[in-house]
């Protein structure tokens, strides 16, 4: 079992839909949780950063962390064609936060106009 599991999709939704992206993990030491967006042949771009459990909202994006279930989610409201990309969850452990990131495989999202 990999440390971080993420359904690779592809996921196709109509414009305006609410998108739910998820990852599960096995390492209880993870405390820092991130979502990155990656367009084709580009580097990952940080979208959301969450420490420990709880919710965080930024515009159309909401990140949720449930450490008891080892489950994290990213919700995208009012999805736009420009949101079409691969979404990578990433996490790291230890209080110092200086450990390397462990990534999921990424979920490929297409938002159809």
Cis? peptide before 59, omega within 30° of 0? no
Does residue 46 bind another protein (CB under 8 A)?
A: yes
Residues whose CB is less than 8 angstroms from the CB of residue 39 and which lie 6 or more positions away in sequence, other chains included: 45, 85, 86
Pick the closer one to another protein by CB: 43 or 59. 43
Does residue 11 bind another protein (CB under 8 A)?
A: no
- From 30, 106, 109, 111, residue interacting with another protein (rule: CB under 8 A): 106
Rounded to whole angstroms, the Cα distance separating 39 from 109 reads 10
33 with 22: CB under 8 angstroms?
A: no
Beta bridge partners of 14: 112
Does residue 34 bind another protein (CB under 8 A)?
A: yes
Does residue 84 bind another protein (CB under 8 A)?
A: no
* Binding range to another protein, per CB under 8 A, among 11-19, 32-40, 57-65, 69-77: 32-40
* For the chain, counts of helices (H) and of strands (E): 0, 11
Question: Under the rule (CB under 8 A), what is the footprint of another protein?
Answer: 4, 6, 8, 32, 34, 36, 41-46, 49, 51, 88, 90, 92, 95-98, 100-106
């Amino acid at each position: 079992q990999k440390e971080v599991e993420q359904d690779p999709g592809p996921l196709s939704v109509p414009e305006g839909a609410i998108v739910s992206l998820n990852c599960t993990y096995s390492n209880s030491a993870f405390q820092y949780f991130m979502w990155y967006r990656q367009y084709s042949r580009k580097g990952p771009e940080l979208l959301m950063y969450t420490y420990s459990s709880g919710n965080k909202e930024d515009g159309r994006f909401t990140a949720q962390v449930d450490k008891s279930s080892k489950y994290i989610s990213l919700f995208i409201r009012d999805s736009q064609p420009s949101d079409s990309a691969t979404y990578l969850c990433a996490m790291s452990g230890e209080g110092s936060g200086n450990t390397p990131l462990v990534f999921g495989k990424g979920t490929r999202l297409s938002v159809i106009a």
